[in-house]
């Protein structure tokens, strides 16, 4: 491909956003505005990412909160850095403990699936190492939003309403603080209705004043511990006190002359890398859109079943990341793809729901940042008087002791949230991500192939109709997915299911930088209330 094709506009149903001095892209306009205010105040891309993330806990609580986990990829001063701020299982959490409580699998709601939240520590850690402005300044806009309130946007309302009905099915006092905090009038806030949370504001202020220490060792930690004990949880203040985010080296594959980067396991970004690696070894299906789609679906399926079978804590993985991304193994997986849909099974390579944001500043620094409570509000647990909604990431653990991702005290589980980043010849191209549970790796595949192989600008790539592999030969597609392509895929053995809405197909953002002019081009998700704000 031509070096410059990717960087210039291509047809899109939406306006292409361009800037030069900075850019913020995320799923909620008010949060994007917060990030831009920080850039214009003199902050860098890291400062803007932290401020935007904190604001998202307020204006999009349906997907993330103060009790979330975080992964981030930072390009700063010409170097790539990775941060894994996913928390481990409590020290009291074990397969035996769950079985003694009567569980054959980990419940998705309540205190039992709650692992140590990593978000506040991630914000403080990123600020300390890479930030320019004082940490308290970064959280101030979110604090003001929480205290003064904001009008709820339409898609956020839809997700809020779903959560309201989900938690209403529980006759359990532990869910009462969620309703007090997020449905004080006995219903989810309507579109355009103002919602505020003074408790949320006060908690963010404590985090700002103490560099997040209060959340892990202070009064907030005590309140989390007390609530967990009261409602049968296993999380304790000692678990919180022992948490530190981990700096990691991002992992990559080469695709279409670019290097695609993800956070290593326990994150699931390796699935996207494996799928792209398989596609690179297949080569392009020239002028055949059906064959192109078929190959992308098949590669994604093969990568997914490998990920489900093998991904867990990196040190506990057998086989290793290097083995799963090796040229020999990727070629062997590519060789399984024929002109008909396969029912994928995991290979053996051994040789013997979430918010995403992207930021960029005028100095070339860029951040790919993802923050999540897992599905919706997460566990449904809100620590009384704090506004802290706790994730339910432990739901991903297996209670089968033979499974690589089996529950163990202090272990981090398979994680769906994955930030992505693209470089070319050692220079930053830009951050990208698609939020949405198990949609995320295949969303990454569709966004990257759209930009790098189909030569679409970020907005056009995000606008494209999406598909989602679920199991076996079943592939769900969006309502506006072209019928002729769906029928052609069905003739190849795919079980195509056309859904009536787009809410489960992920929500993405992307920013790319022209390597010659420094001009930034951004795209935001049409399936969300999102915005790209250029400067």
Longest dimension (CA), the chain: 62
Joined together, the tokens standing for residue 254 give 């080469």
Strand partners, 71: 84, 370
Q: What is residue 390's DSSP assignment?
A: B
pTM: 0.94
CA pair distance 22, 76, nearest whole angstrom:
14
Least confident of 61-70, 152-161, 309-318, 364-373: 309-318
pLDDT digit string (tens) for 88-101?
A: 999 999 999 999 99
Q: CB-hemisphere CA count at 13 Å for 51? A: 34
Please report how many Cα atoms fall inside a 13 Å half-sphere around the Cα of residue 60, on the Cβ side. Answer: 32
Q: Return the higher-pLDDT residue of 17 and 407.
A: 407
Residue 472, phi-psi category: left (phi > 0), alpha (psi -120 to 50), beta (remainder):
left
Q: What is the Cα gyration radius of the chain?
A: 22
DSSP code at position 336: T
Report how far residue 435's alpha carbon sits from residue 443's, in angstroms, rounded to the nearest whole number. Answer: 8
The dihedral formed by the CA atoms of 385, 397, 112 and 203, expressed in degrees to the nearest 10: -10
pLDDT tens digits, residue range 238-253? Answer: 999 999 999 999 999 9
Of the residues 62, 115, 354, 502, only one is catalytic, namely 354
Determine the pLDDT at residue 261. Answer: 98
Highest mean predicted confidence (pLDDT) among 245-249, 375-379, 438-442: 245-249
Reference 269, options 315, 351, 325; nearest CA is 325
Q: What is the mean pLDDT of residues 296-306?
A: 95
246-248 and 69-76 strand pairing: unpaired
Per-residue DSSP letter, 385? T
Given a cut of 80, is residue 384 above it in pLDDT? yes
How far is the C-alpha of 228 from the C-alpha of 260, rounded, in Å? Answer: 40
Query: Which whole number is the average pLDDT over 500-509?
Result: 89
Q: Evaluate if residue 465 carries a pLDDT over 90.
A: yes
297-319 average pLDDT score? 89
pLDDT of residue 10: 45
| CB neighbours of residue 199 within 10 Å | 19
The span from the first CA to the last CA of the chain, in angstroms, equals 29
**Residue 507 and residue 528: Cα distance in Å, rounded?**
6
pLDDT digits (tens, 9 = 90+) for 128-158: 999 999 999 999 999 999 999 999 999 899 9
Tokens of 286: 């020239």
List, in sequence order, every residue forming a beta bridge with 534; answer none if it has no partner. 23
| Predicted local distance difference test score (pLDDT) of residue 352 | 36
Beta strands per DSSP E along 425-477: 427-435, 467-471, 474-477
Residue 354 annotated among the catalytic residues of the structure: yes
pLDDT score recorded for residue 284: 75
Residue 160, both tokens = 């809020």
Confidence of residue 316 (pLDDT cuts 50, 70, 90): confident
pLDDT band at 320 (very low <50, low <70, confident <90, very high): confident
**Cis status, amide bond into 440, omega within 30 of 0:** no
Looking at the DSSP bridge assignments, the partners of residue 455 are none
User: Residue 86 gets which letter from DSSP?
Assistant: P
Of 14, 27, 38, 62, nearest to 126 by C-alpha is 38
Is the backbone of residue 90 left (phi > 0), alpha (psi -120 to 50) or beta? beta
């Amino acid at each position: 491909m031509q070096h410059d094709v990717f960087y210039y506009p291509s047809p899109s149903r939406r306006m292409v956003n361009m800037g030069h001095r900075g850019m913020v892209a995320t799923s909620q306009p008010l949060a994007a505005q917060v990030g831009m205010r920080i850039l214009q105040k003199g902050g860098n891309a890291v400062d803007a990412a932290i401020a935007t993330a904190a604001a998202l806990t307020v204006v999009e609580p349906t997907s993330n909160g103060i009790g979330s986990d975080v992964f981030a990829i930072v390009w700063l001063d010409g170097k790539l850095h990775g941060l894994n701020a996913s928390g481990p299982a409590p020290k009291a959490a074990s397969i035996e403990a769950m079985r003694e409580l009567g569980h054959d699998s980990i419940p998705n709601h309540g205190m039992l699936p709650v692992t140590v939240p990593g978000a506040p520590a991630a914000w403080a850690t990123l600020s300390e190492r890479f930030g320019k402005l004082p940490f308290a300044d970064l959280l101030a806009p979110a604090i003001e939003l929480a205290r003064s309130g904001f009008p709820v946007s339409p898609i956020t309302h839809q997700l809020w309403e779903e959560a309201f009905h989900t938690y209403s099915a529980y006759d359990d006092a532990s869910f009462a603080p969620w309703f007090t905090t997020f449905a004080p009038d006995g219903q989810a806030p309507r579109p355009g209705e103002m919602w505020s949370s003074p408790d949320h504001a006060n908690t963010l202020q404590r985090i700002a004043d103490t560099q997040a220490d209060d959340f892990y060792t202070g009064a907030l930690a005590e309140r989390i511990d007390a609530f967990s004990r009261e409602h049968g949880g296993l999380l304790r203040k000692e678990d919180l006190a022992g948490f530190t985010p981990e700096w990691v080296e991002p992992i990559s594959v080469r695709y279409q002359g670019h290097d695609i980067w993800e956070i290593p396991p326990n994150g699931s970004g390796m699935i996207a890398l494996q799928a792209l690696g398989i596609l690179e070894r297949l080569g392009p299906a020239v002028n055949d859109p059906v064959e192109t789609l078929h190959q992308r679906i098949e590669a994604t399926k093969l990568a997914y079943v490998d990920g489900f079978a093998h991904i867990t804590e990196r040190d506990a993985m057998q086989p290793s990341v290097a083995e799963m991304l090796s040229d020999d193994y990727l070629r062997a997986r590519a060789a399984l793809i024929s002109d008909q849909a396969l029912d994928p099974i995991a290979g053996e390579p051994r040789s013997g729901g979430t918010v995403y944001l992207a930021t960029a500043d005028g100095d070339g620094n860029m951040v790919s940042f993802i923050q999540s409570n897992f599905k919706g509000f997460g566990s449904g647990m809100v620590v009384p008087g704090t506004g802290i909604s706790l994730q339910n990431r432990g739901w991903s653990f297996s209670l089968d002791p033979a499974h690589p991702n089996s529950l163990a005290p202090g272990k981090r589980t398979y994680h769906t949230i994955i930030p992505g980043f693209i470089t070319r010849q050692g220079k930053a191209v830009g951050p990208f991500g698609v939020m949405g549970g198990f949609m995320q790796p295949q969303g990454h595949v569709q966004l990257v192939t759209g930009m790098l192989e189909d030569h679409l600008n970020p907005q056009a790539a995000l606008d494209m109709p999406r598909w989602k592999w679920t199991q076996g030969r079943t592939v769900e597609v969006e309502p506006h997915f072209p019928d002729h392509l769906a029928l052609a895929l069905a003739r190849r053995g795919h079980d195509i299911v056309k859904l009536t809405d787009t809410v489960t197909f992920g929500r993405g953002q992307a920013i790319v930088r022209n390597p010659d002019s420094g001009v930034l081009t951004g795209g935001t998700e049409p399936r969300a209330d999102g915005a790209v704000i250029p400067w």
